[in-house]
Amino acid sequence: MTERGPTKAWSYIAGEKGRNRVRVYERPPHGIWIDYRVDEGQRVRESLHHPDREQAKRHADEIAAQFGRTENRATQAVTLRSLIDIYLREVTPQKSRSTQNHDRRTFPLFLRAFGESRKPDTLNRRDWDSYIQRRRRGDLSVRGREGKAVRARVLEQDCNLLLALLNWGERAGNGTGQYLVERNPLKGLPVPSEESPRRAIITNAQYDAARVAAASISPRLETFVLLAWYTGHRGASIRQLRWSDVDLEAQTIHFRGELDKIGYDHTNPLHPESVAALKRERQRAGGIGDAWIFPSSRKPGEPLSSHAMGNLWKRIAVRAGIPTGQRYGWHSFRRAFANTLLDVPLRSLKDLGGWKTERTVVSVYQQPSQQAQRKALETLQTRTKTA
């Protein structure tokens, strides 16, 4: 029996995990609660209606002793492989296409790192740290990128997926009244993150040069550049647009949730230049209905692939004189959108650019601007004088 330290809130555990584990803990401001499973595996989590820690500990000991005698509370032992298989079958299909691909790429790494027969609730801090170190060195990599080290952003995505898997297993039933995972043993461990990342932002002059360069390659590519600039959306969302997604009379554009990285289905107004460019492209290409606005030239019936768009950006960058090796690319348009519209209310900016939360815009995309700060101080000075 152990009593936990006072790092967060007081708690006490009696019994053995998977057999007769009983936990009592403080839940401010609601007093002391108890958490355990009955013989059929049903979870009991309720208030003890008193603040006495010693009484709560005795109560936990009594229940643990009672269940310890029954010997019939063992939960079904699922392996990491079986847990992942169930998750891939039931949870992954509900995600966006790009997130589904990430799940399928990353789960084999967990199996290689921890073992297919590993019990999920036996994972620990050493496993967590080892996985992070091996990914950073390139000792553990996805197929096709063998030996390639990854940065903090990829590690953050991997670790969050592992936590999501265990959190889901902790709440998912196994069909016998019990749960797939007794607890998430990795909850609370630090997730790698890239502090204050600075990414290249395409400037107005570079955009003008990129648009001219794109037009010299094809009118369709110029339209793509223009939509990237005026919608602020991801290249993947733009390249998978259909003609039925744009209403040129109402001047709106629809981004489908099933094709969006975060599954955000939304309709936004179009900039007049975007409307004009799309009208020219529709007349030129004769696009109607569910036809792709940016179809693949190699695979009929499919949109341009991400690989093809990457290659087209390289051609544009060379002709426009945009530096290479400085993390420019289609996403630099999205960063420019977020930073050019610093004075727009965050809620409107989030919806207009298709971000998940306002926090994402501020913490990931927008960068400090002395010009914006000086403008704010000038506003403060004006208000002070008129007060």
* pTM score above 0.75: no
Residue 343: give the domain boundaries. Answer: 204-373
Range with lowest mean pLDDT among 136-150, 159-173, 226-240, 326-340: 136-150
Q: Which pLDDT score, from 0 to 100, does residue 75 have?
A: 45
Q: Which of 44, 70, 96 is the last residue of a domain?
A: 70
Residue 13 to residues 37, 52, 56, 243, 326: CA-CA distances in angstroms? 13, 15, 10, 60, 52
Q: Which of 370, 374, 373, 366 is nearest to 198 (CA)?
A: 366
* Mean per-residue pLDDT, 140-146: 85
Q: How far apart are CA 222 and CA 374, in angstroms?
A: 36
* Partners of 23 in beta bridges: 13, 35
Range with lowest mean pLDDT among 39-53, 144-158, 333-347, 363-377: 39-53
Residue 386 maps to a domain: no
If asked whether residues 158 and 275 sit together in one domain, one would say: no
Q: Which pLDDT score, from 0 to 100, does residue 372 have?
A: 79
If asked whether residues 350 and 231 sit together in one domain, one would say: yes
| The amino acid at 63 | I
If asked whether residues 250 and 339 sit together in one domain, one would say: yes
Q: Which of 349, 294, 315 is nearest to 216 (CA)?
A: 315
Q: Which of 12, 37, 70 is the last residue of a domain?
A: 70
Q: What is the pLDDT of residues 111-125, one digit of tens each?
A: 999 999 999 989 999
Residue 54 maps to a domain: yes
Residue 381 maps to a domain: no
CB-based contact 41:51 (threshold 8 Å)? no
Structure tokens at 384: 């002070």
If asked whether residues 223 and 360 sit together in one domain, one would say: yes
- Does position 267 have pLDDT exceeding 60, yes or no? yes
Q: How far apart are CA 34 and CA 20, in angstroms?
A: 13
Kindly give, in sequence order, each residue whose CB lies less than 8 Å from that of residue 271, ignoring residues fewer than 6 positions away: 230, 231
Mean residue pLDDT of the chain comes to 87
Question: Per the structure, how many domains does the chain have?
Answer: 3
pLDDT bin (cut points 50, 70, 90) of residue 295 is: very high
* Mean per-residue pLDDT, 252-281: 92
pLDDT bin (cut points 50, 70, 90) of residue 143 is: confident
Residue 191 maps to a domain: no
If asked whether residues 267 and 122 sit together in one domain, one would say: no
Q: What is the pLDDT of residues 241-259, one digit of tens each?
A: 999 999 999 999 999 988 8
Q: Which pLDDT score, from 0 to 100, does residue 387 have?
A: 61
Q: Exposed e or buried b for every residue in 224-256, given b needs 16+ CB within 10 A?
A: bbbbbbbbbbbbbbbbbbbbebbeeeeeebebb
Q: Which of 49, 70, 91 is the last residue of a domain?
A: 70
Query: What does the DSSP 8-state code read for residue 26?
Result: E
Q: What is the pLDDT of residues 204-247, one digit of tens each?
A: 999 999 999 999 999 999 999 999 999 999 999 999 999 999 99
If asked whether residues 223 and 324 sit together in one domain, one would say: yes
If asked whether residues 22 and 154 sit together in one domain, one would say: no
- Number of neighbouring beta carbons within 10 Å of residue 140: 20
Q: Which pLDDT score, from 0 to 100, does residue 49 have?
A: 82
Q: Which pLDDT score, from 0 to 100, does residue 73 have?
A: 42
Structure tokens at 117: 């027969």
Q: How far apart are CA 355 and CA 261, in angstroms?
A: 10
